[in-house]
């Protein structure tokens, strides 16, 4: 990523920076402005990734030199250590993340469709006591969802093409970023659960 002035239009559209705890566990996405704040406060323990960018600041009156900070696309925050419970925490469920988890493929007919033609299907219908959780939902096209109705796949004689699963923290970070960089994706891909469909991306 090239140099940019803090106020330039290009700088306002930088990709998000992936932050890690001090042990290298994925933490969260932050804006480039937030990442620069970490650098300026000496809170970056270490950084990795192929993508770097330089942000230019103001000019020093004494020296006439312009300040600049070079930052990486993946940074570990000094002193930040995530508790085990946070790493195992179930990510929040939404249609966007569900459709991303399932690679926008209908679990019944296998069609690869845009978001506008997809729905959230409850394997065990809510009307039969099914829960609205990662392990009970799959992506379905509108026609398959209507055909299945308030029945289980067995009752509707509709075979599931893949099994649901709960994304881990790394996969959730992949699902929640629309403009993830290649080096960030490579880092997170090494921490995906074995059943993740993103391992085959």
pLDDT of residue 7: 46
pTM check: above 0.75 = no
CATH number attached to the domain at 95-156: 1.10.30.50
| Reduced DSSP (H G I as helix, E B as strand, rest coil) percent helix, strand, coil of the chain, to 5 | 30, 25, 45
The rounded distance, in Å, linking the Cα atoms of 155 and 152 is: 5
For the chain, give every domain's residue range. Answer: 4-85, 95-156, 169-200
Tell me the mean pLDDT per 10 residues along the chain, length 201. Answer: 45 80 90 91 91 76 77 91 67 93 96 97 97 97 97 97 92 90 93 80 54
What phi and psi values does residue 183 have, to the nearest 5 degrees? -70, -35
Q: How far apart are the first and last CA of the chain?
A: 24
pLDDT of residue 12: 52
């Amino acid at each position: 990523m090239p140099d940019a002035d803090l106020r330039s239009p290009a700088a306002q559209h930088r990709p998000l920076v992936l932050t890690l705890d001090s042990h290298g566990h994925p933490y969260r996405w932050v804006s480039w402005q937030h990442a620069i704040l970490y650098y300026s406060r000496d809170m970056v323990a270490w950084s990795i990734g192929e993508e770097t960018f330089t942000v230019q600041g103001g000019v020093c009156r004494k020296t006439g030199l312009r300040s600049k900070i070079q930052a990486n696309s993946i940074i570990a925050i000094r002193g930040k250590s995530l508790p085990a419970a946070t790493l195992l925490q179930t990510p929040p469920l939404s249609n966007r993340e569900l459709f991303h988890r399932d690679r926008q493929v209908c679990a019944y007919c296998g069609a690869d469709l845009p978001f506008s033609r997809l729905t959230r299907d409850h394997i065990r219908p809510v009307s039969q006591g099914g829960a609205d959780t990662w392990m009970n939902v799959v992506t379905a096209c509108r026609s398959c969802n209507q055909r299945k109705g308030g029945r289980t796949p067995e009752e509707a004689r509709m075979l599931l093409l893949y099994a649901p699963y709960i994304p881990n923290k790394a996969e959730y970070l992949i699902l929640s970023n629309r403009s993830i960089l290649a080096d960030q994706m490579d880092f997170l891909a090494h921490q995906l659960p074995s059943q993740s469909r993103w391992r085959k991306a």
